Amino acid sequence: TALGAFDWELPEDLHSDMFVGEMAKWWIETYPVTQPLFLQIGFPGPHPPYDPIPRYAEPYMQKDLPLLPVTKDELDAQPAALKELRQHNNEVDHDSVVLDLDPTEEQRHRQRAYYLANVTMIDEKVGEILQALDDRGYLENSIVIFTSDHGDCLTDHGHSQKWTMYDTITRMPMIVWTPNGSQHLPNLPRGKRDDGLCSQFDIGPAILELAGVTPPANLEAKSLLPAMNGEVWEERDYVFAEQTKDGILTGVDFMTMVRNRKWKLVHYLEQPDGQLFNLASDPDEVHNLWESTDPVHQAKKTELLDVLREWRIRSALDTKDLYAAWR
């Protein structure tokens, strides 16, 4: 199968990522320059179908792209819900992707090359958007945040798209940029990578503060503004992610991840199996330790389940009045 990778055969300007980039530029070029702006631009890609314009895909097809080996041992150790997910994605076409349960390296390489080509198309349009901001006099007073909502397995771990809690899904990129000498983030550490643990919604209060708005006290989000401005900041001890049952993840009603720097646990509601990974020794998350009888592993599983339970209770309590103003 094509694994969702197809050539774009229509005019280039009809491609969704090209269209969004062009419309964003048009909006900037016609917006009154005397007005401030908050502009959120949502590119559809990289998202299946992986359908880049051919000239963007050709260079990646010539490259050696690393592929994570998928073994029978890894697949056998996955929870029943993920085994059901694999079978479902093999039988049902979602977003023009049908998962081959045993794809060839050529199929996997082509899918990954086309995905990266979609990223390059977006990268080019982001550059044009920044140029439009510069041409209109906005860029010198702008803060640019580039991020995504989730990743894609691209057949790693034997899976398609999302609906799992592997780092390739939940560990999302984010870039923050301002011009040199910005009055808003004067100490932004340029060219520095910060691997401190945070949640994606931590971006929210930082944006509010940059706009001069005080974030509500009952937000669970923890502002990333100190990190953005090169100040001392406290990373999170743990981060969490949730996925409820839907028309694709049909084998479990609710799935929750808890992760720190060294360990990750994924809890499957009312199911005996789950996932436990030692990220320090197994960063690729291929050795599921959930059923391990090692006392160290058993203790860590108990510890993380306790952390998850405490967070669930604390979260419900802290946010109980979150929508009071709208009632």
* pLDDT(324) > 80: no
Instruction: Note whether 205 and 224 are same-domain residues.
Output: yes
Neighbours of 8 (CB within 10 A): 24
Looking at the fold, whether 171 and 77 belong to one and the same domain comes out as: yes
The answer for residues whose C-beta is within 8 angstroms of residue 111's C-beta and 6 or more apart is 2, 3, 4, 5, 50, 154, 155
Residues 279/264, Cβ–Cβ less than 8 Å: yes
Instruction: Please report the DSSP string for 57-99 in residue order.
Output: HHHHHTS--------HHHHHTS-HHHHHHHHHHHHS-BTTB--
Same domain, 130 and 256: no
Do residue 83 and residue 182 come from a single domain? yes
Q: Which residue has the tokens 């005019």?
A: 11
* Total number of domains constituting the chain: 3
Please report whether residue 27 resides in a domain: yes
Q: How many helices (H) does the chain have, and how many strands (E)? A: 9, 6
Same-domain status, 131 and 262: no
**Residue 308 DSSP one-character state:** H
Q: Is the pLDDT of residue 279 over 80?
A: yes
Examine residue 85 and state whether it is found in any structural domain, yes or no: yes
Are both 190 and 203 inside the same structural domain? Answer: no
292 and 213 in one domain? no
CA 44 to chain centre: 14
- Helices (H), ranges, 136-294: 167-170, 203-210, 225-228
CATH of the domain at 154: 3.40.720.10
Indicate whether 168 and 20 sit together in one domain: yes
Q: What is the pLDDT of residue 319?
A: 87
Task: Calculate mean pLDDT across residues 278-289.
Answer: 98
**Averaged pLDDT for residues 155-170:** 97
How confident is the prediction for the chain on average, in pLDDT? 95
pLDDT in tens, 221-248: 999 999 999 999 999 999 999 999 999 9
- In this structure, the answer to whether residues 77 and 119 fall within a common structural domain is yes
- What tokens does 64 get? 């050696």
In a domain, 208, yes or no: yes
Residue-number span of the structural domain to which 203 is assigned: 198-234
The answer to whether residue 123 is domain-embedded is: yes
Q: What is the CATH number of the domain that holds 291?
A: 3.30.1120.10
- pLDDT on residue 326: 66
Given this model, what pLDDT does residue 323 score? Answer: 79
Residues 18 and 68 placed together within one structural domain of the fold: yes
User: Is 159 part of a structural domain of the chain?
Assistant: yes
Asked whether residue 154 is domain-assigned, the answer is: yes
Do 140 and 93 lie in one domain? The reply is yes
The pLDDT of residue 16 is 97
Separation CA 219–CA 34 (nearest Å): 33
Residue 88 pLDDT level (bands cut at 50, 70, 90): very high
Q: What percent of the chain has pLDDT over 70?
A: 99
Residue 33: band (very low, low, confident or very high) from pLDDT cuts 50, 70, 90? confident
Closest CA to 196 of 162, 228, 225, 234: 234
Q: Assess if residue 265 is contained within a domain.
A: yes
Give the pLDDT confidence score for residue 217 in this predicted structure.
84
On whether both 175 and 46 belong to a single domain, the answer is: yes
pLDDT band at 321 (very low <50, low <70, confident <90, very high): confident
The per-residue pLDDT for 184 is: 86
327 in a domain, yes or no?
no
At 95-153, the pLDDT tens digits run: 999 999 999 999 999 999 999 999 999 999 999 999 999 999 999 999 999 999 999 99
